[in-house]
Chain A
Amino acid sequence: DTGVSQDPRHKITKRGQNVTFRCDPISEHNRLYWYRQTLGQGPEFLTYFQNEAQLEKSRLLSDRFSAERPKGSFSTLEIQRTEQGDSAMYLCASSLGSALLNEKLFFGSGTQLSVL
């Protein structure tokens, strides 16, 4: 068990460019979450997958954001036409079953995005 892995750890991009982040959850975890965290704030929920199905999306997730989990394993989060306001830490988390049912939510170390 190597934990939740996120790649890259840091990403610097110019405004208007597209970026893609990857998350590898703990193997056999069927639930995967994306959160965004800005400096001095707690994480904000973006979206959630159960296996390959994207079941919930926050209103924070504009049309420029898209997430996939094609085979129910790793997930990607793409941001198109990045804006300076997209600068944040993007955290991925996974769980086996529901975090509500005694299953813990395991977070990765995040991808720090800086939009210049």
Chain B
Amino acid sequence: AQTVTQSQPEMSVQEAETVTLSCTYDTSESNYYLFWYKQPPSRQMILVIRQEAYKQQNATENRFSVNFQKAAKSFSLKISDSQLGDTAMYFCAFMKHGGNNDMRFGAGTRLTVKP
């Protein structure tokens, strides 16, 4: 079974600074996908960034980038130039390639960006 662990229940960062959210996962699969989702107070889940396990290059989306360490089964999210609108719950998620469409989520990290 796949499990996703986010060890930081809460984090805070000053506006314009950089913050890194941690995520580790456990799987015996070799091909899979990893995601970071943002959930603001509206409760809608918004895709931030995704990474294919077969790609060595770390994914980047504007101010958001990941550090994917496949051997260590680590998938951290770095947010640069933090903005007040980044305040939200952030969920790390795992989905194995093929067959099962069951996306497994971590428990989430509550990020607060302070002015």
Among A16-24, A37-45, A64-72, A74-82, the one that faces the other chain is: A37-45
Number of contacting residues on B, CB 8 A?
24
From the candidates B37, B43, B100, B108, name the one contacting A56 in the complex (CB within 8 A).
B100
Q: Is the CB of A109 within 8 A of B33?
A: no
User: Do residues B43 and A41 form an inter-chain contact, with CB atoms below 8 A?
Assistant: no
With known contacts A89-B43, A109-B43, A42–B101 Cβ distance under 8 A: no
Q: In the complex, A8 Cα to B112 Cα: how many Å?
A: 29
Interface size class of A (residues with CB under 8 A): 20 to 34
Distance, CA A53 to CA B98, complexed state (A)? 18
Residue B68 interfacial (CB < 8 Å): no
* Closest residue on chain A to residue B91 by CB atoms: A42
Which B residue's beta carbon lies closest to that of A49?
B101
By the criterion CB–CB under 8 Å, are A105 and B47 in contact? Answer: yes
Inter-chain CA distance A100–B31, complex, in Å, is 11
Tell me the bound Cα distance from A40 to B50 in angstroms.
23
Instruction: From B50, B101, B106, give the contact of A48 (CB < 8 A).
Output: B101
Which listed residue (B4, B43, B95, B106) contacts A99, Cβ 8 A? B95
Measured CB to CB, the closest approach of chain A to B94, in angstroms, equals 10
Considering only CB atoms, which chain A residue lies closest to B40 in the complex? A109
> For residues 22 through 48 of chain A, which have their beta carbon under 8 Å from a beta carbon of chain B?
31, 33, 40-45, 48
Using Cβ atoms and an 8 Å threshold, which residues of chain A touch B56? none
B interface residues with partner A (beta carbon < 8 Å): 4, 33, 37, 42-47, 50, 91, 93, 95, 97-98, 100-108
19 pairs, A vs B, C-beta closer than 8 Å: A3-B44, A31-B101, A42-B93, A42-B108, A43-B91, A45-B101, A48-B102, A56-B101, A91-B43, A99-B33, A99-B95, A100-B95, A104-B50, A105-B45, A106-B47, A107-B37, A108-B44, A109-B44, A112-B43
